[in-house]
A and B are shown apart, each in its own frame.
Chain A
Amino acid sequence: MQDLGIRVLIEGNNLYRLMGGLLITIRIAIISAIISILFGIPFGIVMTSKNKLVRFVCRTYLEAVRIIPVMVWLFIFYFGVPKLTGIHIAGDVVSVIVFSIWGTAEMGDLVRGAVTSLPKHQKESGKAIGLTNLQIYSYIIIPQSIRRLLPGTINLVTRMIKTTSLVVLIGVVEVLKVGQQVIESFVLQSPSASFWVYGFIFFLYFIICYPISLFARKLELRWKE
């Protein structure tokens, strides 16, 4: 049989299916990233607390997320939690939950780093002009931290997009899984299918992540002025 070559991508509704898979990947990544940033900022600020107990709890959460692989978290929520509670959560929801737990912890640590790297005098100057703590954070600490946060946050978001490939393991059909299905059904007609399909997926990841990096670089340059 003649090899379809690159045409495997447009054969049948393959392209449509791959794009559908990509959409699921992006949706999980974007929703998780937004949740992570929203929760990560306050979490990071709490991490700078002087209270030892508060710091201990935050630290434990962060370390737990770092030590336990994301894959294990996915299994815990997808297979473990239903056994324990009888509540079954859909795979894509589990993905968003796990990625948000992971992202919030990582984002929090980035925020903590950015906030503590500001000179102590910035906060004290804010106090000295009679601002409340909330005002100090909203007008002084957070605006200055955001610039320091940018590189790390972009890195985190691209890592999240890439790590979504793990959700296959709990049955979510995202772009990589669609790719596998396409390869499986076309491998006889087109032995080189895996090259073209995975190559295309590589390209898809690239065109999502690269603009994000470009955008970050542009912002950084603009803020430097």
Chain B
Amino acid sequence: MALLEVIGLNKYFDGFHVLKDISFSVEKGEVVVILGPSGSGKSTLLRCINGLEEIQSGQIKLNGEVINEDSTKWHLIRQKIGMVFQSYDLFPHMTVFENILLGPLKAQKRDKKEVARQAEELLNRVGLLDRKNFYPRQLSGGQRQRVAIVRALCMNPELMLFDEVTASLDPEMVREVLDVMLELAKEGMTMIIVTHEMEFAKAVADRIIFLDGGEITEVAGAQEFFTDPKTERAKNFLNIFNFKEYKKGVDNNEKI
């Protein structure tokens, strides 16, 4: 049984059809990367999966259980689905440690000692244990995103969603965040990642879902997608990231 299953999901924003009949599933331990042009609905799709956006039709199943019914207690489901956003979303009035402990203590009502131990261990793994009593504003963007990842991990989620977590980082900080995610993938964490980092996608993904205009137009293994995309749209999309033809001093018009 798949860990996550999305069946015929449709989503409208003020009459605009943003997600069209989306169906896919994610196995336990699998890393799925969602690619696509901006405005194709990638982030919206992620947000639907943990109930931040309402959907108009379709089903979302976690461990075989439908989670998008009216009776769904989303705050309980979200304890099993971690999410990290693009913007730095730490709580500015709390220290790093308080940020991480809030969910496990208040939402999950776990034992403080046990959670503190786990939080320290996770912070240590992302190299930020010495920053545990810092406030978010004292950290760099990359450090904040690593803390945000730890905050989500400390809930022991079954599934992690990453929504363009490096998109607003300075280039030299992107790597430190991606490394943490690669590490997680290696450990077998189930993840759905929306990213614009193509090389990273290639390295981390088991499968690529290509979204265009709110539709899934291609699903393929990572290798296959990057070397031999089946659809024209995916080919065009990948070509955007190819700069080889544009060399300095070469007049591109001459070629045509």
Task: Assess whether A121 is in contact with B85, with CB atoms less than 8 Å apart.
Answer: yes
Least CB distance from B147 to A in Å reads 12
Task: Assess whether A135 is in contact with B106, with CB atoms less than 8 Å apart.
Answer: yes
**Does A53 make an interface contact (CB < 8 A)?**
no
Least CB distance from B230 to A in Å reads 34
Per-residue CB contact flags for chain A residues 108-145 toward chain B (1 = under 8 Å, else 0) read 00000000000101101111111110010001100110
A11 vs B52: C-alpha distance in the bound complex, in angstroms?
A: 70
Per-residue CB contact flags for chain B residues 36-56 toward chain A (1 = under 8 Å, else 0) read 000000000000001110000
Task: Assess whether A124 is in contact with B85, with CB atoms less than 8 Å apart.
Answer: yes
Per-residue CB contact flags for chain A residues 131-170 toward chain B (1 = under 8 Å, else 0) read 1100100011001100100000000000000000000000
Most buried by B among A135, A139, A140: A139
Known pairs A124-B52, A143-B93; A130 contacts B87 (CB<8 A): no
Q: Which of B22-76 contact A (CB under 8 A)?
A: 50-52, 74-76
Known pairs A124-B52, A139-B106; A131 contacts B89 (CB<8 A): no
Q: Closest residue of chain A to B52, judged by CB?
A: A124
Most buried by B among A119, A128, A139: A128
**Does B108 make an interface contact (CB < 8 A)?**
yes
Chain B, interface residues (CB within 8 Å), range:
20 to 34
Total number of A residues with any Cβ neighbor in B under 8 Å? 18
**Does B155 make an interface contact (CB < 8 A)?**
yes
Task: Assess whether B83 is in contact with A128, with CB atoms less than 8 Å apart.
Answer: yes
Known pairs A121-B87, A121-B89; A128 contacts B78 (CB<8 A): yes
* Residues on the A chain within 8 Å of B51, using CB: 127
Q: Closest residue of chain A to B91, judged by CB?
A: A140
* Residues on the A chain within 8 Å of B83, using CB: 128
Q: Which of B90-119 contact A (CB under 8 A)?
A: 90-93, 102-103, 106-108
The listed residue (B89, B93, B103, B155) touching A124 by CB distance below 8 A is B89
* Residues on the A chain within 8 Å of B93, using CB: 143-144, 147
The listed residue (B89, B108, B148) touching A130 by CB distance below 8 A is B108
A121 vs B91: C-alpha distance in the bound complex, in angstroms?
A: 10
Per-residue CB contact flags for chain B residues 167-211 toward chain A (1 = under 8 Å, else 0) read 000000000000000000000000000000000000000000000
Q: Closest residue of chain A to B83, judged by CB?
A: A128
The listed residue (A119, A122, A131) touching B103 by CB distance below 8 A is A131
Task: Assess whether A127 is in contact with B89, with CB atoms less than 8 Å apart.
Answer: no
A125 vs B151: C-alpha distance in the bound complex, in angstroms?
A: 10
Per-residue CB contact flags for chain A residues 85-100 toward chain B (1 = under 8 Å, else 0) read 0000000000000000
**Does B122 make an interface contact (CB < 8 A)?**
no
Q: Closest residue of chain A to B107, judged by CB?
A: A130
Least CB distance from B47 to A in Å reads 8
**Does B229 make an interface contact (CB < 8 A)?**
no
Task: Assess whether A131 is in contact with B75, with CB atoms less than 8 Å apart.
Answer: yes
**Does B214 make an interface contact (CB < 8 A)?**
no
The listed residue (A129, A131, A144) touching B92 by CB distance below 8 A is A144
A122 vs B107: C-alpha distance in the bound complex, in angstroms?
A: 16
Least CB distance from A219 to B in Å reads 14
* Residues on the A chain within 8 Å of B142, using CB: none
**Does B82 make an interface contact (CB < 8 A)?**
yes
Task: Assess whether B78 is in contact with A127, with CB atoms less than 8 Å apart.
Answer: yes
* Residues on the B chain within 8 Å of A140, using CB: 91
Least CB distance from A125 to B in Å reads 4
Task: Assess whether A129 is in contact with B74, with CB atoms less than 8 Å apart.
Answer: no
* Residues on the B chain within 8 Å of A122, using CB: 89, 91
**Does B166 make an interface contact (CB < 8 A)?**
no
Since A127-B51, A135-B107 are in contact, a sample of 6 more A-B pairs with Cβ atoms closer than 8 Å, ordered by chain A residue number, is: A125-B90, A125-B148, A127-B52, A128-B152, A129-B103, A135-B106
Residues of A within 8 A of B (CB): 119, 121-122, 124-132, 135, 139-140, 143-144, 147
**What are 17 of the A-B contact pairs (CB < 8 Å)?**
A125-B85, A125-B89, A126-B91, A127-B51, A127-B78, A128-B83, A129-B78, A129-B79, A129-B82, A129-B155, A130-B103, A130-B108, A131-B75, A131-B102, A135-B107, A139-B91, A144-B93
5 closest A-B pairs by beta carbon, nearest first, are A129-B103, A130-B79, A130-B107, A125-B89, A128-B83
